[in-house]
């Protein structure tokens, strides 16, 4: 199981700015190890977020997203106390969901 | 619900990525903004943000033209989020970076910016 994400959701006017730091290798599939063998790609392919359980955004990522990915987005109409949950899934089928409260 | 558009992520040029999402020929537009540094010292972590004030946006894409595969990330825009996403990408070498907005009517609008990389981020 992967390490938890760090999610911070801050209320800004009528919206909430959500910043997420995920913990993931994001191996590109381009690199070679010391024996010259290609290291297989291992990266997050899908990210989605919900606001109080309702889906608000989704994304598809390639291996070119940097290691330990950062993501920032803005949820409209989210108030302090609302729940923002973020889920990712990688190309090995591993998945993780973490939740934060808007402050 | 977790779809992954393999064709788009294997495409080698901006035009092919846009085609993989079924959009028409891309046109340059001032209504799409791309935030990225002029010079990236470390190509492994390059902050970039794509945004647009236009309504009727379906997807926002971030692309690095000279990476082995052009497409970095695709964000689906809904009514519940602003069309404004930031992330960090890897860049293998100095390249044009694109922010592309694919509209509900199939139009593709883009903004580009050259980012100079002094140390590549794809290893070797």
ipTM (interface pTM): 0.91
Distance CA A71, CA A75 (A): 13
Q: Looking at the domain assignment, is residue A91 inside a domain?
A: yes
Cβ-based neighbours of B46, under 8 Å, separated by 6 or more: A66, B36, B37, B40, B88, B89, B90, B91, B115, B117, B121
Give the per-residue pLDDT at B1: 42
Distance CA B78, CA B65 (A): 26
* Nearest Cβ partner for B84 among A31, A58, A74: A74
Torsion sign, CA atoms A56, A62, A63, A65:
negative
The answer as to whether B75 is a domain residue is: yes
State the smallest CA–CA distance between residue A39 and chain B in angstroms: 11
Q: Which of B94, B98, B117, B111 is nearest to B16 (CA)?
A: B98
Mean pLDDT of B83-109: 93
Where in the sequence is the domain holding B61, given as residue range(s)?
6-117
B87 CA: distance to closest CA in chain A (Å): 5
Does the beta-carbon distance from B85 to A72 stay under 8 Å?
Answer: yes
Domain that holds residue A12: 6-101
pLDDT tens for each residue of chain A, 103 residues long: 578 999 999 999 999 999 999 999 898 888 888 888 988 989 999 999 999 999 999 999 999 999 999 999 999 999 999 999 999 999 998 999 999 999 9
A61 touches chain B (CB under 8 A): yes
Residue A16's CATH number: 2.60.40.10
Q: Is residue B123 part of a domain?
A: no
Q: Tell whether B1 is covered by a domain.
A: no
Is residue A50 assigned to a domain? yes
**CB of A46 less than 8 A from some CB of B:** yes
Summarised one tens digit per residue, pLDDT across range A26-46 is: 988 888 888 889 889 899 999
- What is residue B52's three-state secondary structure? strand
B67 domain residue, yes or no: yes
Q: Is residue B30 part of a domain?
A: yes
**Position B16 in a domain:** yes
Q: Report pLDDT for B28.
A: 93
pLDDT class of B122 with cuts at 50, 70, 90: low
Domains identified in chain A, total number: 1
Residue B49 covered by a domain? yes
- Look at residue B93 and tell me if it is in a domain: yes
Question: Phi, psi (5° rounding) for residue B14?
Answer: -60, -40
Q: Residue B95: beta bridge partners?
A: B115
Task: Write down the pTM of the prediction.
Answer: 0.91
Instruction: Work out how many domains chain B is built from and give that number.
Output: 1
Helix intervals (H) in B65-124? none
Residue A93 lies in a domain: yes
State residue B43's pLDDT score: 87
Return the CATH number at B49.
Answer: 2.60.40.2470
B88 to A65: CB separation less than 8 angstroms, yes or no = yes
Q: Does A44 touch chain B (CB under 8 A)?
A: no
Residue of A77, A69, A70 whose CA lies nearest to A51: A77
A1 domain residue, yes or no = no
Using the CB atoms, write b or e for A6-29: b if 16+ within 10 Å. ebebebeeebbbbebebebebbbe
Residue B6 makes CB contacts below 8 A (sequence gap 6+) with none
């Amino acid at each position: 199981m992967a390490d938890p994400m760090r999610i911070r959701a801050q209320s800004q006017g009528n919206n909430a700015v959500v910043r997420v730091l995920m913990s993931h290798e994001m191996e590109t599939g381009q690199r070679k190890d010391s024996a010259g063998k290609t290291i297989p790609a291992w990266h997050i392919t899908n990210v989605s977020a919900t606001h109080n359980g309702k889906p608000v955004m989704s994304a598809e990522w390639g291996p070119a997203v940097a290691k330990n990915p950062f993501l920032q987005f803005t949820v409209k109409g989210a108030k302090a106390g609302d729940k923002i949950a973020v889920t990712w899934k990688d190309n090995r089928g591993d998945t993780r969901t973490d939740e934060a409260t808007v402050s | 619900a977790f779809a992954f558009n393999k064709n788009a992520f294997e495409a080698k040029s901006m035009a092919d990525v846009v085609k993989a999402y079924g959009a028409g020929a891309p046109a340059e537009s001032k209504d799409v903004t791309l935030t990225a540094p002029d010079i990236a010292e470390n190509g492994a972590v390059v902050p970039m943000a794509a945004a647009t004030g236009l309504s009727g946006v379906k997807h926002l894409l971030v692309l690095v033209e000279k990476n082995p595969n052009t497409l970095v990330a695709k964000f689906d825009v809904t009514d519940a989020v602003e069309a404004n996403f930031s992330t960090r990408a890897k860049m293998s070498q100095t390249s044009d970076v694109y922010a592309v907005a694919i509209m509900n009517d199939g139009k593709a609008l883009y903004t580009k910016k050259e980012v100079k990389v002094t140390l590549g981020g794809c290893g070797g």
